[in-house]
Chains A and B, each alone.
Chain A
Amino acid sequence: MRIVIGVAGTAKNTGKTTTLLQTTEFFNSVGKDVFLTSIGYDGEDFDNITGLPKPRIFVPKGAMAASALSLLKSSPADFRDLRYTGVDCALGPVYVGTATSTGKVVLAGPTNTEDLISVIEFAPSDSPVLLDGAFSRLSPMVVADCLILATGATRSTDPVKLAKEVNAIFRVMSLPEVSDRPTERHATYDSSEAGSIGSDSVITIPNGLFLKGQGRKLGIRLVQDGMPSNVRVEGIVNPGVFLEILEVLGGFSKDTVNGRLPILFVFDHPIMLLLSGDIMLWDRVLDRLSQFGCGAAVKDTTRLLGVTINPYTLSQLDNGKFVAGQVDPKEFLENVRNRAKVPCTDIVLEGPSVLYSWLEQYV
């Protein structure tokens, strides 16, 4: 079965490319030809924004890559069997090809979920698919089976804060999966429209909850019009907006809400909870849900394998130029690791063995 591994970052310059390179190297070392693509643009010599040198992406001989045709053609890896994926990106048509020699490549692939799914179809079933992230983008990573998160001092030089954020992400990504097919009576309720929820036991909120006020409106209706056992929220959910629901429900007892059983809130995917608002608020949301006896689950998930910690820092001088630096790598890693509830490593400091241990299960 094909495995799709995403490498996402909490910010730019957190070490995604280095993590991707080592992941590629791992599969190469065990004789697996990977299929590489990026949801952004990666592998260039110098960063598009800071102008600082970047790690290059090397594809081993036999690996496949999906990238803009011009970039595959200009790669010294000499890609053959070029095929159009039917997807276009900002740099032109995205093709897949097989590297006939080891060489550098610049990746510019599908930038949205639908296109990414189409492109992944070109990967052989026995090839691990590696998705290279961009900036702090997460949305297309919903197609990944598992995720390696890159974070570090460009996100925050405070290891305590960083660990808290990692834990919040981990908590959201650890929400249990439930069936996508509710069997009870089912209705759709658009939070932006007026109307009664009625007595249906399962309701669906399409188009997400991410605008201020949407949560409060929904909460009031839940209380006034009926209390379903199961609320399925499709799309993006902002924790601040979601808290509005809980604030409305706050006056009710722990065991029952308006005389009904506590609600199970079902979201599309944990990543849908990480795209809008302050991630740290999810801790409060999940705590309060628990206090109410309500639950949270997801229809589908991506497993968080571990977190790579990068001590690299970036500061901007008065003249606009960026200067690279770093915090103490050992101290920084230890301070994050000791507080984090998810495995952490610094690939440069510790070597790739910890990362490899996360990946061995996919060989």
Chain B
Amino acid sequence: MGQRNKDVVQPKKVLLAPLDPVHDVGLKLIRRKLIDRGHDVTLLPPDLAPEEIVAKALEERPDFLMVSRALSYGTSELLAKFVDLCDAAGLRPSTKLVVGGLSMRPEMAQELGFDAGFGPDAPAEAAVDYVEGKEILSLAGSRPKEKSNLTKGFTYEFLDKEIGELCVGIAQQLIDWASKRTSPGITRAQLRLEIEEARREGRSEELKNLRAQYAKLCSGEVKRWYETGEPVSHTRLLTQKEMNEIAMLRDKKNDMVFPITQDILNDYNVLVQYGTGCPEMDAYHSIISVAWGARGVVHFDPSWGARTEGFLEQAWSHQHDGTVITLDNLNLIKSALLPGTLWQVRAHRGLNTPETVTLAHLSGADLTKINIVYGSLGAGTDPERLAVDGVESMKLAAKYNLPYDVVTNEELCGVPASKAFAGMLVVATAGILLGGRPLLQPLFANSPEAIITGVMDDNFIDFNVAKMRTLSSIIDAPIWPGAPVGFLTQTQDRCQSSAMTALHAALALDSGATAVTIASSDEAYAGGPITVPARIDTLKATAAALRFFGHGGIRPTSKSDEMTSQLREDIVNVLRRLSDRGDFVASLYEGILGDKEDGAYPGRAGKGTVFEIR
């Protein structure tokens, strides 16, 4: 505002008229702002008849006539009639008509016939901008065109030297162990590159051979599709109509304009998950999410993708949640993303991790996900297999310059944060040693551990803040809580879910998170496709929470300090046990990072598929 006050402006004559029996607070605020800027402002009393306002305007001949009125079915006709009166009275050529009030949006203002309209979310400055001739700035949103770089400015240096030394030792052992091994997942990732290259260059004979080799490394229904062409259950090929519609979005996306009222999240990296099953719906959901302030979107695939060796080809729609990962699907979705959309392509914690990273690279994704510990202990993949594939994936991500998150969702099984964080730190360290840029993804939720131990009985702030403080005191790396924040605090009540999501997001960002992933308000209990209104609910709630706290900050109690100390101590203890054991993969099986008592079970998918390299 300081800079604004120094601008030289041409004073304008503004008539403010509350077309309302009582309320004129908004206009009084605008009056103050306009007077501060040197404009000639007259505020009429409330409850004048439209004709009286028009008569006054004919006397005053203002440059702008701004009216306020809460909108309802009946009052909309009143406003339309007012516009007609102004037009017929000959005011329009010299006087811009502006309307503001509850429920007002630019589309509504246009329908009523006003030159501009501002709703309750619009800042008073927007009206001032409009008066000063900055129409475009006032009415069109300024959705960022540049993507956020979530890892920019982080040194990846360990601030906690003791933990750093332990992590480096354990991670190096993991890398060394994996370097002597391979798996069908790693081979398929290589074959996928060759298949796509052959496909691009039209080498059909070679393509056929490569596919045959690839098919041999697949399992279940994916293998059957390569052999017989029979679709995987609950999938169908995308229709030409659907592909045309995505192409329409691709062609129109650069022309989409969003109102300023949706700009409030611009300063934050809030990402949303999509995965409706249908690439066209994903494209719409992505555009809508970004239109409502999300900086990025996260692709996730069906859960059977974790347990089935191999990916399909072509463009598919999937009947249930999760969108099938194929290069065609990813390319379609990518083509429709709005400029500046950060795009994470993640596989579902299983047997296709290296190929997911490869496809993320080929389709132009900005981020991916690699999760050795959670995939092993909470999601059903054999630890040995995921360790080998995970290390290879981190090598690929480094090669392709793709940052990735390392998640701690095993907390959802009941694994304590100390064990989950120790595992995450080791995997992230391995990534750093391999030249990558991992992002730490702590769970930001009412985890089973928290429920059982009661650390969140009093409030949801202390323990979550303790997690953030612990991690940021250990290593200078980006922290991206999720995914999504507020997990296990949401219910089938959309208001409650939006509020919980918003408060968790605000807390995470206030605690220094680089980014957050949020869920839609109906995501946990959708019982069907996630709806667009639910997406917007959550984004708007998050924006409102961030607006509410502003720079006021959220203050945890002193218990958070105790929790921080305890968590750091517990992490050190887990890392020492890992270090003493000297075999990271064996530690996964043996429960050092989560045992049956914690609800963690070493997965079995892909067991026996790791081979030593001779």
Asked if B398 is an interface residue, CB under 8 A from chain A, the answer is: no
When the two chains form their complex, are residues A137 and B84 in contact, meaning their CB atoms are under 8 A apart? Answer: yes
Q: Given A40-B110, A210-B54, is A92 in contact with B85 using a C-beta cutoff of 8 Å?
A: no
User: What is the 8 Å Cβ interface bit string for chain B, positions 55-93, against chain A (1 contact, 0 not)?
Assistant: 100100000000000011100110011011111111011
Question: Of the candidates A49, A91, A140, which one forms a contact with B73 in the assembled complex, judged by CB atoms under 8 Å apart?
Answer: A49
- Residues in B with CB closer than 8 Å to A70 are 255-257
The reply to whether A207 and B89 form a contact with Cβ atoms under 8 Å apart is: yes
Q: B-side binding surface: helix, strand, loop or mixed?
A: helix
Taking a contact as CB atoms under 8 Å apart, the answer to whether A50 and B139 are in contact is no
User: Is the C-beta of A136 less than 8 angstroms from some C-beta in chain B?
Assistant: yes
Q: Determine if B107 and A238 form an interchain contact, defined as CB atoms under 8 angstroms apart.
A: no
Residue contact B114 to A111, C-beta cutoff 8 Å:
yes
Determine if A73 is an interface residue (Cβ-Cβ < 8 Å): yes
CB–CB B87/A92 < 8 A: no
Q: Which of B168-184 contact A (CB under 8 A)?
A: none
CB-nearest residue of chain B relative to A269? B88
Q: List A contacts of B539 (CB < 8 A).
A: none
Contact with B along A201-231 (1 / 0, CB 8 A): 0000001101100000000000000000000
A112 to B96, CA, bound (A): 11
A249 at the interface (CB under 8 A from B): no
CB of B293 within 8 Å of the partner chain = no
A134 to B114, CA, bound (A): 12
A114-B87 Cα distance, complex, nearest whole Å: 9
The answer to whether the Cβ of B105 comes within 8 Å of any Cβ in the partner chain is: yes
Partner of B252 from the list A11, A44, A74, A238 (CB cut-off 8 Å) is A74
Whether a CB of chain A sits under 8 angstroms from the CB of B450 is: no
Q: Are A238 and B51 in contact (CB under 8 A)?
A: yes
B76 touches A207 (CB 8 A): no
Whether a CB of chain A sits under 8 angstroms from the CB of B111 is yes
Contacts A12-B77, A90-B139 given; does A135 touch B87 at CB 8 Å: no
CB-defined contacts of B73 to chain A, threshold 8 Å: 12, 49-50, 314, 316, 322
Name the contact of A41 in the complex, choosing from B81, B84, B110, B116 (C-beta under 8 A). Answer: B110
- Is B606 part of the binding interface, using a Cβ–Cβ cutoff of 8 Å? no
Contact A111 B113 (CB under 8 A): yes
> Which residues in window 122-140 of A have CB below 8 A to B?
134-140
Contact between B81 and A92, CB atoms less than 8 A apart:
no
Tell me whether A211 and B88 are in contact (CB under 8 A).
no
**Residue A76 CB within 8 A of the other chain:** yes
**CB pair A275 B85 closer than 8 Å:** yes
Asked if B108 lies at the interface with its beta carbon under 8 angstroms from chain A, I say: yes
Contact A137 B83 (CB under 8 A): yes
> What are the residues of chain B within 8 A of A138 when measuring CB–CB?
84
Alpha-carbon distance between A44 and B106 when the two chains are bound, in angstroms: 13
B109, CB-defined interface residue at 8 Å: yes
Chain A, Cβ-Cβ closest to B252: A74
Nearest Cβ distance between residue A233 and chain B, in whole angstroms? 12
Chain B hits for A115, CB < 8 A: 92
Known contacts A137-B84, A211-B55: A90-B117 contact under CB 8 Å? yes
Q: Which of A42, A91, A235, A314 contacts B89 (CB 8 A)?
A: A235
Q: Are B108 and A140 in contact (CB under 8 A)?
A: no
For the complex, what is the distance from the CA of A239 to the CA of B71, rounded to whole Å?
A: 27
With a cutoff of 8 Å between Cβ atoms, the chain A residues found around residue B248 in the complex are 76
Residues on the A chain within 8 Å of B471, using CB: none
B140 close to A (CB within 8 Å): yes
Docked Cα-Cα span, A282 to B490, in Å, equals: 61
Known: A90-B116, A210-B51, A235-B89. A40 touches B111 (CB 8 A): yes
Partner of B77, one of A42, A135, A211: A135
Contacts of A236 in B (CB 8 A): 51, 54, 85, 88-89
Interface: B15 (CB within 8 A): no
How big is chain B's contact interface, by range?
35 or more
- Whether the Cβ atoms of A44 and B107 lie closer than 8 Å is yes
Residues of chain A with a CB closer than 8 A to B108's CB: 41, 48-49
A48 touches B111 (CB 8 A): yes
Contact A92 B111 (CB under 8 A): no
Given contacts A74-B255, A113-B92, contact A11 B77 (CB under 8 A): yes
B55 x A90 contact (CB < 8 A):
no
Does the CB pair A211–B51 fall under 8 Å?
Answer: yes
How distant is B160 from chain A, measured CB to nearest CB, in Å? 52
B135 contacts partner chain A, Cβ-Cβ < 8 Å: yes
A42 to B108, CA, bound (A): 10
Contact of B85 with A276 in the complex, beta carbons under 8 Å: yes
Determine which of B80, B105, B106, B107 lies in contact with A135 in the assembled complex, contact meaning CB atoms within 8 Å. B80
Q: How far is the CB of B383 from chain A (nearest CB, A)?
A: 49
B interface footprint on A275-318 (CB within 8 Å = 1, 0 otherwise):
11000000000000000000000000000000000000010100
In the complex, which residue of chain B has the Cβ closest to the Cβ of A73? B255
Q: How far is the CA of A68 from the CA of B115 in the complex (A)?
A: 12
Docked CA distance A40–B71 (Å): 16
CB proximity to A under 8 Å, residues B94-146: 105-117, 135-136, 139-140
B458 at the interface (CB under 8 A from A): no
A22 to B252, CA, bound (A): 28
1/0 per position for A44-62, CB-CB distance to B under 8 A?
1000111000000000000
A147 to B450, CA, bound (A): 70
Q: Which of B86, B88, B110, B117 contacts A271 (CB 8 A)?
A: B88
* A340 adjacent to chain B (CB < 8 Å): no
CA distance A142 to B89 in the complex (A): 13
- A214 closest partner in B (C-beta): B55
Measured in the bound complex, the distance between the Cα atoms of B136 and A88 in whole Å is 11
Tell whether, in the assembled complex, residue B80 and residue A137 are in contact, meaning their CB atoms are under 8 Å apart: yes
Which chain B residues lie closer than 8 Å to A316 at the CB level? 73
Q: Which residue of B lies closest to A271 (CB)?
A: B88
Q: Is B52 on the interface with A (CB-CB < 8 A)?
A: yes
Q: Which of A40, A92, A207 contacts B257 (CB 8 A)?
A: A92
Q: How far, in whole Å, are A326 and B483 apart by their CA atoms in the complex?
A: 48
Residue A108 is within 8 A (CB to CB) of chain B in the complex: yes
Instruction: Enumerate chain B residues within 8 angstroms of A272, measured Cβ to Cβ.
Output: 88
Q: Given A41-B111, A275-B88, check contact A48 B105 (CB 8 Å).
A: yes
A134 CB contacts on chain B under 8 angstroms: 80, 111-113
Report if A119 contacts B (CB, 8 A).
no
- Is there an interface contact between A275 and B81, defined as CB atoms closer than 8 Å? yes
B136 to chain A, nearest CB (A): 8
CB distance from A154 to the nearest CB of B (A): 9
Closest 6 CB pairs of A and B: A135-B80, A73-B255, A41-B111, A112-B92, A111-B113, A139-B84
Question: What are 11 inter-chain pairs, A to B, with CB distance below 8 A?
Answer: A40-B80, A70-B256, A90-B107, A90-B114, A111-B87, A115-B92, A139-B83, A210-B55, A236-B85, A276-B81, A314-B73
Q: A89-B110, A135-B76, A272-B88 are in contact. List 17 more A-B contacts (CB 8 A).
A: A39-B113, A49-B73, A89-B115, A90-B106, A91-B139, A92-B136, A108-B110, A113-B88, A135-B112, A136-B80, A136-B81, A208-B88, A211-B52, A275-B88, A276-B51, A276-B85, A314-B73
